[in-house]
Structure 1
Amino acid sequence: MIDDQRPLLQSMMGNRIWRLMTSDPEKFKQETRAYFARGYPGWTVVRVKYPIVYLRDDRGREG
């Protein structure tokens, strides 16, 4: 759990994106956010630690 004590979802992603982590960190961030926005609408990437990506459920929250 991070920040507000809500449980997080743990997920993974393919090597194509992970390879960007060292070669192009900004592109890595963009691709990671886009990947999970498509697959998990309403969830927010809150932490990335190879090979796990931690997502927070923000569906229904006022922003």
Structure 2
Amino acid sequence: MRRFFTDKKLTVGTEIVLDGEEAKHIMTVLRMKPGDELLLINGTGREMTARILSENKGEIRLE
């Protein structure tokens, strides 16, 4: 499973929106698409598995 670092607050059961360079990296460089799962990690020691719900105009939504 791909790992991805973000500075967003990670809370299980909430939708997370990534945009800009974060979204571009996930969709273009890592070649992920809606339905794919990744492990999100933030700087406070939290991590969670997230699934890409949608991608639209440089923004991705994860759950």
**TM bracket (short chain):** 0.3 to 0.5
Larger CA Rg, structure 1 vs 2: 1
Q: TM-score, normalised by structure 2?
A: 0.42
Normalized per residue, which structure has more helix? 1
Normalized per residue, which structure has more strand? 2
- Bigger RCO of structures 1 and 2 (CA < 8 A, at least 6 apart): 2
